[in-house]
Chain A
Amino acid sequence: MTVRVENLVKRFGNAGGPAAVAEVSFEARPQAITTLLGPSGSGKSTLLRLIAGLETPDAGRVLIDGKDVSALSPQHRNVGFVFQSYALFKHMTVADNIAFGMKIRRLPKAQTKARVAELLELVQLPEYGARFPSQLSGGQRQRVALARALAIEPKVLLLDEPFGALDTQVRVELREWLVTLHERTGITTLLVTHDQEEALELSQHVVLLNQGRVAQAGSPHDLYDHPADEFVASFLGGANVMKSRVSDGEAKLGTKSVPAPSGARDGTPVQAFVRPHNIRVRRPDGEDPAELGKIERLTRVGGYVKVYVSLPSGESIVVLTSKTDLDALGVEPGDPVAVEVVDAKVFVQSYSI
């Protein structure tokens, strides 16, 4: 089932205020996981609640499976919603929680019971049916919430920061588990997160939001390698920002020339976003044409090393290199290094400092 959102607008408070969701359109593909990614306050959770019907849009439409559901209450939309706080019914056992949606639909008791057992098995909590939510750990509660949402055989599954309240280890485990679960159920899933790693790892399609608007939508790969603007480039993956000016339709970064944005005239100040792994450092030769910098600090993270280099311009950059490469160079903090930009993305500076 596809989920389509067309020109959705939602304002909180007075009509003149900024919109939490401003003219958002996108499509979540069937049987895929789509992430709504963005910093806090970007409107991603509001967008998800609009799709579920928990908020009423000021304008625009929500289509599920080609049908306009904008006028339907959440009760009749048949979407599975998993809340960040899990929102389990505290006074019910785990089994009763999962059975709730089926009881509301008046399914036969035997069928409900069988399905609950099946779902408990699916979320790997077969022994926990008689427990109360307060007796479960965070990760277990999250899985119960998922089972409860899946119990109604929803057309789409909506997850609002599903791993936000969990510690790192549980989060990583659950993430992998969710991917497996998705492969088994094949249900169209929309997931809200502020964690780019989560988005890149989990989903086939990412909708990156900024201040209530879609900054860019596409595959994680697209967004990472071909960011549409400065926000996307800096939000995803982290990047060094280097200043330059356009000359002959190119921006020069040390020895590397990068095509300037089309229409940028010569002399226009530009910002280059350079991924930490797109910079190389080496020992300078006698008359090295490359830019020279000084190593300020080395941080070793497993097999990788973050090299902090200060440039003559006063800019400070981070270079990501493998441990093996760095050991071969044999440099220490304080040593001079030649810095070579391998690839960069250049944008016309939208503001001046």
Chain B
Amino acid sequence: MSGIIGTRAASARRRDSQVGESVFVRMLLIVMALGFLGIFLVAPLVTVFASAFSQGLGPYWAALAQDETLDAIELTLLTAGISVPLNVVFGIAAAWLVTKYDFWGKSVLITVVDLPFSVSPVISGLIFVLLFGAHGWFGPWLSERDIKIIFAVPGIVMATTFVTFPLVARELIAVMHAQGNDEEEAALTLGAGGLSILLRITLPKVRWGLLYGVILCNARAMGEFGAVSVVSGHVRGLTNTLPLQVEILYNEYNFVGAFAVASLLASLALLTLLVKKIAEWSVSNRQAKRDALRSAEARPLAASAELEGVRP
């Protein structure tokens, strides 16, 4: 973080001569930005970890090693493990459809993709209760066949998938729009079929966008509270995901336990940001390396040897 602020300060200094902000204004802006970040981002994060470790490592591990918590971790991983791949498949399909074809109702589809974002997660959960609950549309049909969706794992997976649906699709639609269709058309004229084009051209082309979408989707899938809370039924050891477990522990005044579990989710968020940063860094680094190579036109052999090393 100090790196970001360092660059910002540096660019502010560079602009000095043109814009002419006084030192006072600059300091004021920096203090405001830092203060805001501190209060709303850093302080809560620190609190989570501080509270989690407030009684030392022992109680922290004990809180995490509880059966119910372990079950919650397992369920959360299972949920993310199902809904993220589903959303990757749907996301690629939707992005492919939207960016490669023109059809009637395309703008409607793009709007519908965003629906889960514009609806409150609680409503998203309720939708599934209304559809599959005991008194829902499909409720009687399901209960006749003894299939449980609401207050069971399938409901949690469905609600999570619904809520996280736009993350992969939106990311891919943006990236694929920006990159155009030229390479796909070229592959088509060279004899490649649809699947070949998808696997050899499109996916490699959008891989960073896809990775980013998957990372965000995964983070949201593991952290989703509202929609899951509605469909879960809070059955301990069975239908509690990590965020729900945090709430339960907190309501039972088990603060160390609550914050220990919360610290897991927070770590996940930090890890997500780290992976994203690495992905971005690797893209820009590769680009820089290529630019450097291009300027070194004089040594084509050395260049190709180096290239072998950085090939993806």
Taking Cβ atoms with an 8 Å cutoff, the residues of A that contact B are 52-54, 73-81, 83, 85, 87-91, 93, 100-101, 104-105, 127-132, 134-136, 145, 148-149, 151-152
Question: Of the candidates A54, A90, A127, A135, which one forms a contact with B189 in the assembled complex, judged by CB atoms under 8 Å apart?
Answer: A54
Chain B 25-57 near chain A by CB (<8 Å), digits 1 or 0: 000000000000000000000000000000000
Given contacts A91-B312, A132-B307, contact A101 B188 (CB under 8 A): no
Q: Is the CB of A75 within 8 A of B301?
A: no
Q: Are B186 and A75 in contact (CB under 8 A)?
A: no
Is residue B136 contacting chain A, with contact meaning CB distance below 8 A?
no
Q: Which residues of A contact B287 (CB under 8 A)?
A: 134
Q: Which residues of B from 167 to 220 have beta carbons under 8 Å from A?
A: 182-183, 185-193, 196, 200-201, 204-205
Contact A83 B182 (CB under 8 A): yes
Q: Kindly report which residue of chain B lies nearest to residue A125, judged by CB atoms.
A: B300
Query: Cβ of B304 < 8 Å from any Cβ of A?
Result: yes
If A130-B307, A134-B294 touch, whether A104 touches B196 (CB-CB below 8 Å) is yes
Instruction: Name the A residues within 8 Å of B201 (CB-CB).
Output: 89
Chain B residues with CB under 8 A of A73: 188
Per-position 1/0 for B105-134, Cβ under 8 A of A:
000000000000000000000000000000
Please indicate the chain B residues that have their CB under 8 angstroms from the CB of A130 in the complex: 303-304, 307-308
The reply to whether the CB of B8 lies closer than 8 angstroms to some CB of chain A is no
The dominant DSSP class at the A interface is: loop
- Partner pick for B192 among A78, A104, A131, A132, CB 8 A cutoff: A104
User: What are the residues of chain A within 8 A of B205 when measuring CB–CB?
Assistant: 90-91
Are B290 and A135 in contact, with the CB atoms below 8 A? Answer: yes
Flag if B191 contacts A105 (CB, 8 Å). Answer: yes
| Beta-carbon contact of B307 and A104 below 8 Å | no
A87 touches B182 (CB 8 A): yes
- Evaluate contact between B189 and A74: CB separation under 8 angstroms: yes
Query: What B residues does A76 contact at CB under 8 A?
Result: 191
Q: Indicate which residue in A85, A87, A152 contacts B191 across the interface (CB closer than 8 Å).
A: A152
- Known contacts A74-B189, A78-B191, A127-B301; A87/B183 CB under 8 A: yes
Q: Is the CB of B303 within 8 A of A131?
A: yes
Do A104 and B308 contact each other (CB < 8 Å), given the known contacts A83-B185, A87-B183? no
Q: Using Cβ atoms and an 8 Å threshold, which residues of chain A touch B311?
A: 93
**Do residues A81 and B290 form an inter-chain contact, with CB atoms below 8 A?**
no
| Contact residues on B (Cβ < 8 Å of other chain), bracket | 20 to 34
A131 to B310 alpha-carbon distance, docked (Å): 11
Lowest 10 A-B CB distances belong to which pairs?
A130-B304, A87-B182, A101-B190, A87-B186, A81-B189, A91-B204, A135-B294, A127-B300, A104-B191, A74-B188
Judge whether B293 is part of the interface by a CB distance below 8 angstroms.
yes
| Nearest-Cβ distance from residue A309 to partner chain B, whole angstroms | 48
Please name all residues of chain B whose beta carbon is closer than 8 Å to the beta carbon of A91 when the two chains form the complex: 204-205, 312
**Chain A residues with CB below 8 A from B303, complex form:** 130-131, 135
B304 pairs with A87, CB closer than 8 A: no
Contact call B191/A83, Cβ cutoff below 8 A: no
Contact A134/B290 with A54-B185, A91-B204, A91-B312 known, Cβ cut-off 8 Å: yes
Closest Cβ neighbor of B301 among chain A residues: A127
Q: Is the CB of A75 within 8 A of B188?
A: yes
User: What's the nearest-Cβ distance from chain A to residue B207, in Å?
Assistant: 8
Interface residue ranges, B against A (CB under 8 Å):
182-183, 185-193, 196, 200-201, 204-205, 287, 290-291, 293-294, 300-301, 303-304, 307-308, 311-312
Q: Specify the chain B residue showing the minimal Cβ separation from A148.
A: B190
What are 11 sample pairs from A and B whose C-beta atoms fall under 8 A apart? A74-B189, A77-B189, A87-B183, A89-B186, A89-B187, A100-B200, A104-B191, A127-B304, A131-B303, A135-B293, A148-B190
Bound together, the chains give a CA A311 to CA B134 distance in angstroms of 94
Task: Determine the distance from Cα of A104 to Cα of B191 in the docked complex, in whole angstroms.
Answer: 7
Give the complex CA separation of A15 and B196 in angstroms.
34
Bound-state Cα–Cα, A149 to B188, Å: 11
Question: Could you tell me if A131 and B182 are in contact, using CB atoms closer than 8 angstroms?
Answer: no
Known: A90-B205, A132-B307. A100 touches B188 (CB 8 A): no
- Indicate whether A54 sits within 8 Å of B182 (C-beta atoms), given known contacts A127-B301, A135-B293: no
Q: Contact partner of B307 among A75, A78, A88, A131, CB < 8 A?
A: A131
Would you give the shortest CB distance from B224 to chain A, in whole angstroms?
34
B145: shortest Cβ distance to chain A, in Å? 44
Of B186, B204, B304, which is within 8 A of A131 by CB? B304
A136 CA to B294 CA, complexed, in Å: 7
Contact between B204 and A81, CB atoms less than 8 A apart: no
Pick from A53, A77, A80, A90: contact of B183, CB under 8 Å:
A90
Q: Is the CB of A89 within 8 A of B183?
A: yes
A85 touches which of B182, B196, B300 (Cβ 8 Å): B182
In the complex, A77→B190 CA distance in Å? 9
Residues on B with beta carbons closer than 8 Å to the beta carbon of A53: 189
B63 CB to nearest chain A CB (Å): 46
Also in contact, A152 and B190, with CB within 8 A (given A91-B312, A127-B300, A134-B294)? yes
Q: Which residues of B contact A79 (CB under 8 A)?
A: 189
18 additional contacts (CB under 8 A) given A127-B304, A130-B308: A52-B189, A75-B192, A77-B189, A80-B189, A85-B182, A87-B185, A89-B186, A89-B187, A89-B201, A91-B204, A91-B312, A128-B300, A131-B300, A131-B304, A134-B290, A134-B294, A135-B303, A152-B190
Complex CA–CA separation, A77 to B201 (angstroms) = 20
Tell me the smallest distance from the CB of A85 to a CB of chain B, in Å. 5
B-chain residues with CB within 8 Å of residue A77 when the two chains form the complex: 189
Q: In whole angstroms, how far apart are the Cα atoms of A152 and B192 in the complex? A: 11
Instruction: Compute how far the CA of A90 lies from the CA of B186 in the bound complex, rounded to whole angstroms.
Output: 12
Cα of A272 to Cα of B49 in the assembled complex, Å: 88
Cβ contact of B190, chosen from A93, A104, A128, cutoff 8 A: A104
Nearest residue, chain A, Cβ from B287: A134
- Whether the pair A81, B294 counts as a contact (CB closer than 8 A) is no
Contacts of B200 in A (CB 8 A): 100
* Chain A nearest CB, measured from B239 CB (Å): 43
Q: How far is the CB of B298 from chain A (nearest CB, A)?
A: 12
Q: Is the Cβ of A100 less than 8 Å from the Cβ of B189? A: no
